[in-house]
Amino acid sequence: MRDRDFRVNFRAVWFLVIANLSIFFLGSLARIQQWELPGSILTVGLILFFASWIIIAGDILTNKIANRSFWLISMFLVPPFAVLLYLIQRDKLLRLGEE
Q: What is the pLDDT of residues 16-57, one digit of tens each?
A: 899 988 998 898 888 888 888 888 888 888 898 898 999 899
Domain boundaries defined on the chain = 10-98
User: What's the mean pLDDT when you consider all of the chain?
Assistant: 86
pTM of the model: 0.79
Which pLDDT belongs to residue 4? 64
Q: Which amino acid is at 1?
A: M
| pLDDT of 70 above 90 | yes
Opening angle at CA 8, ends 5 and 65, nearest 5: 35
Task: Give the pLDDT band of residue 88 (cuts 50, 70, 90).
Answer: very high
- Between CA 26 and CA 79 the distance in angstroms is 18
